[in-house]
Amino acid sequence: MQINISRIIFKTDFKVTDSPSSLRGFIANLFPDNPLLHHHLNNPDKKGFVYTYPKIQYKIIDGIPMVLGIEEAKEAVKTISNIDHLDLKGKKYSVVDKNLIEQDTDFGVSEDMLSYKFLTPWLALDEESYKRYKRRNEDERKKQLESILIGNIISMAKGLEYVITDRISATVDVHEVQTSLKGTPMLGFLGAFSVNFEIPDYWGIGKSVSRGFGTIKRS
C-alpha cells in the first residue's frame, strides 16, 4: 500500500527544549477550526476526542520541531508552513528556515523482517498491562512487549484502512526509561525492534503518538 505523507521541519534560532505537547497546543490554538491539528471533534453536537490513528503528529527530535501529516492531513501541514515563530509555554523561538517534504511511501506487510529504532519513548503499557508487566520475569516481559507491539501495528493499520491478512511477527530489544505525559510519570521504552511490516520513518507507535511518543526510524 502506498501512503502519501508530508512533513514540515522547522529550523529555529535556538534548540527547542519544550515538549511536542507544547508544539501541538501552540499550533492547535492557531487553527482551532481544523480538527486534524488538535484531534478534537469540532462538531458542536459531538464532544470529545477523535479516537483513531492520528493523521497529524507533533515531534521534537534532537531539539528540532517537526509536524507529520498522513494522507488527507497533508493539506493541514501545508497550512502551517507559513508559521514564522513558535511560542511554547512562554518560550519564543523564531523560525529561520523550513523544510516541507512530500512523498509517497510504502506501508504494510513485508516479506522480510525490517529493523527500526525508537527515537522517542514508546508508551506501550496502560494501567492493567503495567501491573502484569511488573509481575513477570525478563523473558515474559519481552514476549508481552512483542505482543503489544504487534497490537499497536494492527491498530495503526486499521486506522488507515489497511487490512492485514498475513501473520505479523516481531522481536524487541528495548530498555526502560522514565518519561512523563501531561505531567504524570510514565514508564517508556527505548531501543530497537524488528517486524515484517513496513512503517514510514518518523511515524509513531503506541500511546500518545500525536504528542511525539513512540517515534520510529528504519535502522
Hey, what CATH topology would domain 2-105 get?
Alpha-Beta Plaits (3.30.70)
Which of 3.40.640.10, 3.30.70.1900, 1.20.1270.10, 3.60.150.10 is the CATH number of 107-218? 3.30.70.1900
Sequence ranges of the domains in the chain: 2-105, 107-218
Strand order in the sheet with 56-61: 56-61, 64-70, 2-12, 91-106, 85-88
Tell me, yes or no, if the pTM score tops 0.75.
yes
Sign (positive or negative) of CA dihedral 71, 110, 157, 179: negative
- Residue 75 carries which side chain, given as an amino acid letter? E
- Angle (CA) 125-126-132 rounded to 5° is 70
Joined together, the cell numbers standing for residue 211 give 504528542
Q: What is the pLDDT along the chain (219 residues), one digit of tens a residue?
A: 999 999 999 999 999 999 999 999 999 899 888 877 865 544 444 444 445 789 999 999 999 999 999 998 988 898 888 899 999 988 999 999 999 999 999 999 999 999 999 999 999 999 999 999 999 999 999 999 999 999 999 999 999 999 999 999 999 999 999 999 888 999 999 999 999 999 999 999 999 999 999 999 999
Distances (CA, A) of 217 to 18, 42, 115, 116, 203: 21, 32, 9, 5, 8
